[in-house]
Chain A
Amino acid sequence: MLAACGLASADELFSQIPAEARLQRPLALADGISEYEIVDYFKSLAAQNANGYASFLGAGVYNHYRPVVVDTVVSRGEFLTSYTPYQSEISQGTLMTIFEFQTMVCQLTGMDVANASMYDGSTAIPEAAMMAERITGRHKALVARSAHPEYREVLATYARNQGMQIEEFGFDRATGQIDFADLESRLDKETACVIIQSPNFFGIVEDAKKAAAMAHAAGALLVFTFTEAASLGILEPPRDADIVAGELQSFAISPSYGGPFAGIMAAKEKYVRQLPGRLVGESKDSEGNRAFCLTLATREQHIRREKATSNICTNQALIALMATVYMELYGKRGLRELAEQNLAKAHYLGSKVKPLFSGPYFNEFAAVPAKPVEEINAQLLEKKIIGGLPLAKFYPELGNAVLLCATEMTKRADMDALAEVMA
């Protein structure tokens, strides 16, 4: 092949790189290793992580059962090793799965349109806030302090450089719900959107209808977010919101030390042209058969460049496919039963460990143990139980409180053991 290229040696392939820019030594990386050694190495690393522990951690990443069928589907090379479906004639498989994903996200959230996915819930929030800015022409976002702390941090990073002002409003210390008086006092003519999470970071269900009414009265939009998608199997969807931006990790996406997950972005029909990210639409091919394709691409970076709605390009297609398979397997009845089981488990735990807040909760809640939480959690580790998340790191005002989560995977015996240590 070198000869066909008129070259005498492989080094000549790089003659256009000036000598001083070339690496004159081998990379200081070990030689390649075999497949067996690779498996062995990663198994040894995995052994240094938690193995065989019961866990009460939630806080945005949930431990739900992952049906075997999900991996069967996403391991197919036709899904795993294809690119973004720009060539619709040979991408109908991916396009149809995304169309189903968009549809089910709408059904789940009560919105009219949804995109093909965002990186995750945390990055979907600033995208939603920027979208609200474009729609309203205003530059302030009010975000609930009871929304996920890391989501708020990501929002702050994005906002800082765009002249977007971020203000937090508080929560009621008795119920754990939005402090509506505080919210109302901060709404003004500069407010582009109000961002709330439900169930919120403390697992408490919020009154989205009231938040929407308050935001709309001030000419602002309501951005609704969620980290626990399983709650939407039983909770009224946020029909009054303008934009819904959340996280589907609960739907067959393993915790994987924090990613990759699948964010969603959905909205009212009239805002479709302000949505970031990819959209799949239905059409017909030249023989009149139903066919799907990427559409409304003029919103995106490869066409509008610096005026695009977002710079997002690669999203989370394969992870969104996991959630799609899960939603179809569980379906209408399964998601309901899943939600009921989560509710039952958490409320059993709540009967043993008194919740800190009085508001209604889904599958997690804050509680204050009798002894320092570090001491409690160390004691639990000895019983092979990972306790809840200490809240002081994110909420110093909550002191010794801990966030506890129970899902359909949580066993009664482990809850009894936890309650005993925490008492």
Chain B
Amino acid sequence: MSYPETYRYTKEHEWVHLENGIATVGITDHAQSELGDIVYVDLPKPGATVQTGQSFGSVESVKAVSDIYAPVAGEVIAANDDLATAPEKLNEDPHGAAWLIRVKVADGTDLGNLMNAADYESYIGAEH
């Protein structure tokens, strides 16, 4: 699966896509493949605030739980409810339909310290 050029990536394997002050956050294809079959996704409710680098939820496989860390700070304006009933979507389309949350970020939020697609791909390549 390809890593979209317009996204930015974290070392903890989250992606973020910033458009018009709204950041959409998900986990990468690499992350879902490491986790295996995802059985449950725990997400914050709209209205919650998230802090950069802090855990805002978790994803579970049968025998593991992984925290998800926020790449940006702001207020959660939407969580992907589909994942509650169909967590398998996270295995199928992690960069698209299975986004996790949308966050309204402060003006001037800078993603410059995150990796672009090429850097991320070489990062996960080096991990092995």
Which A residues are closer than 8 A to B by beta carbons?
Answer: 273, 297-298, 303-304, 307
Contacts and interface: CB of A to CB of B under 8 A. Distances in A.
Interface residues of B, number: 9
Nearest to A293: B62
B65 interface: yes
Interface string B34-60: 000001101000000000000000001
A144 B99 CA distance: 46
A273 B61 CA distance: 14
B128 interface: no
A307 B65 CA distance: 10
B64 interface: yes
B103 to A, nearest CB: 22
A298 B64 CA distance: 6
A273 B58 CA distance: 13
A303 B66 CA distance: 10
Nearest to B67: A307
Specify the main secondary structure of chain B where it touches its partner.
strand
A294 B42 CA distance: 20
Given A298-B65, A303-B63, 11 more contacts: A273-B40, A297-B62, A297-B63, A298-B39, A298-B60, A298-B61, A298-B62, A298-B64, A303-B64, A303-B65, A307-B65
A88 to B, nearest CB: 12
Interface string B64-100: 1100000000000000000000000000000000000
Contacts of A304: 65
B123 to A, nearest CB: 27
Contacts of B65: 298, 303-304, 307
A298 B61 CA distance: 8
Interface in B15-48: 39-40, 42
A21 B60 CA distance: 44
Contacts of A273: 40, 42
A27 B40 CA distance: 52
A350 to B, nearest CB: 51
A86 to B, nearest CB: 11
Contacts of B63: 297-298, 303
Contacts of B64: 298, 303
B65 to A, nearest CB: 5
Contacts of B60: 298
Contacts of B39: 298
Nearest to B62: A297
A303 B40 CA distance: 14
Contacts of A303: 63-65
A297 B61 CA distance: 10
A304 B39 CA distance: 15
17 contacts: A273-B40, A273-B42, A297-B62, A297-B63, A298-B39, A298-B40, A298-B60, A298-B61, A298-B62, A298-B63, A298-B64, A298-B65, A303-B63, A303-B64, A303-B65, A304-B65, A307-B65
A382 B104 CA distance: 80
Contacts of A298: 39-40, 60-65
A63 B37 CA distance: 49
A178 B61 CA distance: 45
Contacts of A307: 65
B38 to A, nearest CB: 11
Contacts of B62: 297-298
A303 B42 CA distance: 16
Nearest to A302: B63
A235 B40 CA distance: 37
A65 B22 CA distance: 67
A298 B39 CA distance: 10
Nearest to B60: A298
A304 B64 CA distance: 8
B90 to A, nearest CB: 15
Nearest to A308: B65
A175 B21 CA distance: 63
Nearest to B59: A298
B55 to A, nearest CB: 10
A173 B9 CA distance: 66
Nearest to B65: A298
A348 to B, nearest CB: 53
B39 to A, nearest CB: 8
A375 to B, nearest CB: 61
Nearest to B42: A273
A100 to B, nearest CB: 23
B44 to A, nearest CB: 13
| Residue of B40, B42, B60 with most chain A CB atoms under a 10 A cut-off | B60
Nearest to A294: B62
User: What are the 3 A-B residue pairs with the smallest beta carbon separation, nearest first?
Assistant: A298-B60, A298-B65, A304-B65
A303 B60 CA distance: 10
A298 B63 CA distance: 6
Contacts of B40: 273, 298
A297 B63 CA distance: 7
